[in-house]
Amino acid sequence: MTFHNQKILPAIRTMKEFDKMLQTSFQYGVFLDMHVGMLKSAVEYARQQKREMFVHLDLIQGLSSDEYATEFVCQEIKPYGIISTKGSVIKKARKKGIHATQRMFVIDSSAMKRSIELIHKTDPDFIEVLPGVVPKIIKEIKEKTGKPIFAGGLIETVEEVEAALEAGATAITTSDHQLWKHFDGN
């Protein structure tokens, strides 16, 4: 299973990287590390280019990642989706009809347990698992939550992408342009 026929969700940190994404066939991507002043025009430009973007709310400069910021982004910016580690952000995005992705860092078994408990409370549309290089963890989280999984972080090779997908990931979030190029359907 893939995310709208994409194995890769390009993770964009700069407008220069976004220009590179526009040269691919990828329809969906993720805006990271963006200044709040550029967010609306970037999302609108993406939409004009027939691209749908997730916004990683925790990484938007000049914006607190809380319920109020979530409400503002959902009403004024209207991205395809929001990514956050915060349960309140996920719940608010879901109430506003925006695709919500709960980001979880799996550093040990207790972090995984707490994250799964949070996922059951927030009921996100997707889960992003970091680091994404541990297929065993991807498989376990998918089994325990039943949610589509994005794997991200530390994935550097085609083999690691394929292993994550084989373990049950729906797509891989990455800023690695070589992986974009390899998996681009262009």
pLDDT tens-digit readout, 138-163: 999 999 999 999 999 999 999 999 99
How far is the C-alpha of 70 from the C-alpha of 68, rounded, in Å?
5
pLDDT digits (tens, 9 = 90+) for 81-136: 999 999 999 999 999 999 999 999 999 999 999 999 999 999 999 999 999 999 99
Q: Please, are residues 99 and 80 in contact by the beta-carbon 8 Å criterion? A: yes
Q: Could you tell me which of 104, 85, 81, 87 has the C-alpha nearest to residue 31?
A: 81
Residue 3 has pLDDT above 70, yes or no: yes
| Cα dist from 78 to 45, 82, 113, 129, whole Å | 12, 10, 32, 24
Domains of the chain listed by start with CATH number? 8-183 (3.20.20.70)
Give the model's pLDDT for residue 2.
Answer: 83
Record the tokens describing residue 144, joined without a space.
């325990």
Q: What residue type is assigned to position 9 of the chain?
A: L
Helix locations, the chain, DSSP H: 15-22, 36-48, 67-72, 87-95, 109-122, 135-145, 158-166, 177-183
Give the model's pLDDT for residue 150.
Answer: 98
pLDDT digits (tens, 9 = 90+) for 21-67: 999 999 999 999 999 999 999 999 999 999 999 999 999 999 999 99
Give the mean model confidence (pLDDT) for residues 153-178. Answer: 97
Q: Please, are residues 99 and 82 in contact by the beta-carbon 8 Å criterion? A: yes
Q: Which run of H or of E encompasses 172?
A: strand 169-174
Low-confidence winner among 2-6, 92-96, 174-178 (lowest mean pLDDT): 2-6
Give the model's pLDDT for residue 186.
Answer: 66
In the DSSP assignment, the letter for residue 3 is B
**146: how many CB neighbours lie within 10 A of its CB?**
8
Torsional sign, CA 86, 91, 95, 101:
positive
